[in-house]
Structure 1
């Protein structure tokens, strides 16, 4: 063997990470030293395997060897066509003779790498005569930047810790909580910028005869008192155009439009609430369709355990904390998969008894509901305030706040005290399990209250934001202290799909129907709010279009168009029908994708079986041919011996 120069030697060391081992010799071609190919498989078998498609990697042994041969041929051709290291400029070729890499050369190398594409960058780094530690250092800047971008997401590190310790089921609850937070931030920004801020700047003259006793401790809980005449509720907002410019004197003959820009609060209030619900509906439909597509991906438990064992590690993990978190995440997923495979067998008696759960629940509900409604009717005091919109807003505010208080009590008594009692009194080592379903339903209930109340209390989404922020950190601390991973198998994608579906149809659809009915048919209060003096809130737009037509005769067609498009119920039904068609279309597309995935999986399995059959037949023919050759050789030796 001839000695190798340092560049060729280091290049071979790097390429050996992904290519088979070759032994250099004085001959032209490399000699294969892999005993799997050189000793056990014939050349005919290898030729057939190398020409077969390799879409079933990991499905059969023959497919693996086929990919091995194809990869070997590709690397051989790439090595022949790859430019040598001498083709790169000398400034991009750092020294490896024990003195490290110069600073200016390193900077030029990094600049050159940034200007290249991903494939060219990887190819150039592989061809560089650098050690693995130096290449890792060069790539570390890019990975650090990606880690920084990932860390900008809200609660990213906390969510990784929760998913690593408690599994994807508990993680789906916190992801759903973050999704609700984003919905409320969007609603708060829309109502705050278009309604609250202009009304706060205008400072309308309030009724001076109203005297309010301020008892802040109780007002925060009830929402009454000082808050009754504040920006929090519907009754505070004016029904007159807000002047954003200078005011005109009484003796001036100028019109109001020339005295400054006017802000039509009734019109803006109506269109702001409508546009916020419309955009939220679009986001929900898009999120739900996207979640359906993710949940119907490859969804077979067969082979998942082997994939998690051999292919779940991310080799881009660098930090020690990330390594520990990744290890805990893989361990939790393996426990979940193993638990799912031991839970298949259950008691037949329990399965039969579980069939009675729904009839018993429905019958109990029918028995208890009439009495419950009678109690509520007895407790309710029928009183019609002058400003019923603010009264409804106060009630929803109290419901939302009481929901948060009861969640605090449930966390303290149901998780903390129960964990202490279970470990101290009952002498149980296991901690209580985090109830995902109940906590998610509580989130959906609170969000429904926030959507219902945004018409009567424009700042109610801000209250919901504060509630969700406290709830996230409270549940995270309680989860680590008092709970353990759920014993039931959960799939994060499917759980997220179910959560979004429940949020969309029962919660958002019900709130949207109630708000639309209120704006369309119920008469607003005559003494408060931006819609006083109107038959319904929809007339705010009609009045504005009539004013435009009166000011400009060329726009006389606007009131008729508004009456035909907005006040006609057909427009609402058409809009709802379009949304239903879009949802149905997305569901059909997802169902088609799921069927295609199933067909492709079946095709992959069939190809794997065909390859195993062909490999077995080829090996059988090769062994039979080898036996015949051995027999002929033995017979020939005997014949030659007899002749001698």
Structure 2
């Protein structure tokens, strides 16, 4: 019989050796083979067939690598199952593919706030609400249904508000473990705000680090084309979605790279500056007028719904006047700001969005400031039996009415706008998703939630449900009513900007309001866990005085008096935060510098290769001319080796002189770019370039 082909024998030996390996070793060995992907697949299939034959021959059900494959499949199935449990996972991919990163940043921010409120609700419910259930008294008020809108009535005697919580130490067993509700209430809220501060700080740093990138034209698009595709995708729908997402990202990068700088004349610049100034004057005047209206309405609000109405429906309706007016202002005025932005004709959509966001944040934070002044200076000094519950009810109504107006905004601002743009006035077309207005709605709602935590501990749970509904309503409205942005643009730092606005001024303003409430204001005498105390913080002072009696707790007392209760503590905390922020900024700058250096190095390497190829092509042409000239005499010359440094220097247009010294004689081993040419007859440019 003829002998087997040596190549076939070698391949059979290879398959046999791979079949005897474990699963991980076999995968790594195949990956390291210097063969094409098709050849690797053929070898893998032959190995699997060989292992199947061996397993059948032995009669074994489990081969050496089968458990590993089964565990990997189980892990993949489990991962897909958990991804399906996250309802926004697929939605975010679809939104990013269809509408780009600018619209996607809103939904990413909304999902982040949703997770944030879930965390807040779990903390408050676990440490404040559950212990209160053990000492709760029966609610004798009747439920009519109007409480869902006003937050009053039946809800006054529930764990929803501050006034229902006891000031006693909860203990179900005599001489057993006890739970101090005063300390639990103030420490839970205080530690929660500390955690919020750290989360916001590190989230800004994390988003900034992950979104930081160098935007050079060919490098970015080359990395997207060659390195972005996920080869684990096998589903046809997922493949199309990934293609759309990749196409949208490339469009955004190309738009940013190819944007033109418009040169305006002196007259055009004057008109632009005058338009911007006029728009700012109108927006600021509108914000001042809105704040004035809220102020004059709020100072009469307490008298308005404290009047003795004969009809309970009138009293309930009077309670909704302030939140409805505030929500109307927060809904209608941003449309004016967006219209002013269109009149200003910004060069990029990003400038339009950022300016609109700044104007909206001025409006909304100013209104919140007026409301805080009303709560802390009018409601807190009123003759009400429990002013904390009244503040909690006001914030509950503001959150609920704002949520209703958010849903109505999706209907009137997007659905009806689509109907008008497609039937009545076709030239308008489909509307675009207003990122600035919608983002500021989220920041405003979260600010109200933070302010209301002290007066209504379960408010994060209500906001959690509201954000979950808003996510799906906005998603459906976006997919059915809106069109992708006409001007595609990339928003690498958009989410970071949103969190910064949430941190400053919103969160810092909330800390100021909470600090005034805890340290300055006197709690109600007849309700709440701090009844009868000169301030809420007095509960901590009493606890420290109790600890001074015990020798074991002396270290806690020392830390309190020397660190926490002193100005040195806040100075140290501020210094540490500033140092960490500065160090992190320096790390980012160092990474930025390193990326630029590596980018320049890649460009220089490409220029060096281009220079060598051009030199090789000239040498080949010169040798061909020499061979044709000597061909009639039969004296064809051949060359066995060539080195660029052996030839006279020739200038190449556009090539930097610093690549290497072409006048210096360098040996073959010392030169960084060495080329070998076997003969002039079979040489092609770049064939054996090493």
| TM-score of the alignment, normalized to the shorter chain, above 0.5 | yes
Question: Which residue does 1:540 correspond to in 2?
Answer: 539
TM-superposed CA distance for 1:554, in Å, is: 5.2
- The number of aligned residues is 530
- Whole-angstrom CA distance in 2 between matches of 1:233 and 1:270: 15
Given the superposition, is the C-alpha separation of residues 613 and 517 from structure 1 closer, same or farther in structure 2, using an over 3 Å criterion? farther
On the 8 A contact 1:244/1:263 being kept in 2, the answer is: no
Give the 5 Å matches for 1:559-598.
559=557, 561-598=559-596
Match of 1:480 in 2: 479
Distance 1:169 1:9 in 2: 53
Counterpart of 2:460?
A: 461
> Do structure 1's residue 110 and structure 2's residue 65 form an aligned pair?
yes
Tell me the residue number matched to 1:326.
Answer: 242
Q: Residues 302-333 of structure 1: CA distance to partner in whole angstroms, max 9, x if unpaired?
A: 45445545554332211122122223323433
Q: Structure 1 residue 412 and structure 2 residue 411: aligned?
A: yes
Residues 140, 512 of structure 1: alpha-carbon distance in 2 compared, 3 angstrom cutoff: same
Task: Supply the distance in 1 between the matched residues of 2:385 and 2:217 (Cα, whole angstroms).
Answer: 61
1:599 maps to which residue? 597
Show CA shifts across 1:476-531 (max 9, x none). Answer: 11111101111233435321221222222222222223223322222222222112
RMSD: 3.7
Deviation, structure 1 residue 214: 3.6
Q: TM-score, normalised by structure 1?
A: 0.73
The equivalent residue for 1:177 is 110
The aligned residue for residue 130 of structure 2 is 197
Instruction: Please state if 1:168 is matched with 2:101.
Output: yes
Deviates more, 1:524-533 or 1:457-466: 524-533
| 1:118-267 to 2 correspondences below 5 Å | 144=77, 146-148=79-81, 150-204=83-137, 212=141, 214-216=143-145, 218-245=146-173, 247=174, 259-267=175-183
* Cα distance change on mapping 1:587 and 1:355 into 2, 3 Å: farther
Distance 2:216 2:206 in 1: 20
Over 3 Å counting, the alpha-carbon distance change for 1:324 and 1:547 in structure 2 is same
Relative contact order higher in (CA < 8 Å, ≥ 6 apart):
1
Which of the residues 174, 178, 192 maps onto 1:276?
Answer: 192
Distance, in Å, in 2 between the alignment partners of 1:447 and 1:600 is: 42
Q: Residues of 2 paired with 1:367 and 1:180: CA distance?
A: 31
Match of 2:529 in 1: 530
- Where in structure 2 are the equivalents of 1:9-158 lying within 5 Å? 93-95=51-53, 107-108=62-63, 110-111=65-66, 144=77, 146-148=79-81, 150-158=83-91
CA, structure 1 residues 140+354, in 2 after alignment: closer, same or farther (shift >3 Å)? farther
CA distance in 2, matches of 1:410, 1:419: 13
Describe the SS at the equivalent of 1:493. Answer: coil
Q: Supply the distance in 2 between the matched residues of 1:629 and 1:162 (Cα, whole angstroms).
A: 64
Separation in 2, partners of 1:592, 1:467: 42
Instruction: Answer yes or no: is the 8 Å Cα contact 1:392–1:456 preserved in 2.
Output: yes
Q: Per-residue deviation at 1:377?
A: 3.6
CA contact (8 A) 1:549 1:556 kept: yes
Distance in 2 between the 1:140 and 1:103 partners?
25
Counterpart in 2 of 1:491? 490
Residue 332 of structure 2 is matched in structure 1 by none
Identify which range, 149-158 or 517-526, moves more after superposition.
149-158
Distance 1:354 1:295, change over 3 A: farther
Q: 278, 284, 287: which is aligned to 1:360? A: 278
Q: Does the aligned pair in 1 maintain the 2:252–2:490 contact within 8 Å? A: no
Q: 1:371 to 1:288 in 2, by over 3 A?
A: closer
CA separation of 1:7/1:499 partners in 2, compared to 1, >3 Å: closer, same or farther? farther
Task: Give 1:340-419 correspondences, 5 Å limit.
Answer: 340=256, 344=260, 348=264, 353-356=271-274, 358-379=276-297, 380-381=299-300, 382=378, 384=382, 385-419=384-418
Q: Structure 2: which 5+ residue stretches go unaligned?
A: 16-31, 301-377, 638-690
606, 611, 615: which one aligns with 2:613: 615
Q: Is the 8 A contact 2:255 2:489 kept in 1?
A: no
Give the 3 Å change call, closer, same or farther, for CA 367–314 of structure 1 in structure 2: closer
Q: 2 CA distance for matches of 1:634 and 1:260?
A: 116
Offset of 1:467 from its aligned partner? 0.3
Larger displacement relative to structure 2 (525-534 or 176-185): 525-534
Change (3 A) 1:637 1:614: closer
Whether the aligned pair in 1 keeps the contact of 2:386 and 2:526 (CA below 8 Å) is yes
How far apart in 2 are the matches of 1:595 and 1:483?
A: 40
Q: Deviations over 1:158-194 (max 9, x none)?
A: 2122222222222221111110011111111111000
Cα displacement string for residues 66-100 of structure 1 (whole angstroms, at most 9, x for unaligned residues): xxxxxxxx96699xxx9xx99x999963349xxx9
SS at match of 1:186: helix
Q: Are residues 637 and 325 of structure 1, via their aligned partners in 2, closer, same or farther at CA, if it must alter by over 3 Å? A: same
Write the deviation string for residues 6-47 of structure 1: whole angstroms up to 9, x where unpaired.
67669999xxxxxxxxxxxxxxxxxxxxxxxxxxxxxxxxxx
Moved more, 385-394 or 438-447: 385-394
Over 3 Å counting, the alpha-carbon distance change for 1:89 and 1:629 in structure 2 is closer
Q: Are 1:239 and 1:266, in contact at CA under 8 Å, matched by a contact in 2?
A: yes
Q: Deviation per CA, 1:394-428: give whole Å up to 9, x if none.
A: 11111111111111111000000010011110124
From the superposition, tell whether residues 75 and 444 of structure 1 become closer, same or farther in structure 2 (CA, over 3 Å).
same
- Deviation of residue 108 (structure 1)? 1.4
Matches of 1:104 and 1:422, distance apart in 2:
70
Alpha-carbon spacing, 1:318–1:541, altered in 2? closer, same or farther (3 Å): same
> Taking structure 1 as reference, are residues 620 and 236 closer, same or farther at Cα in structure 2, changes over 3 Å only?
same
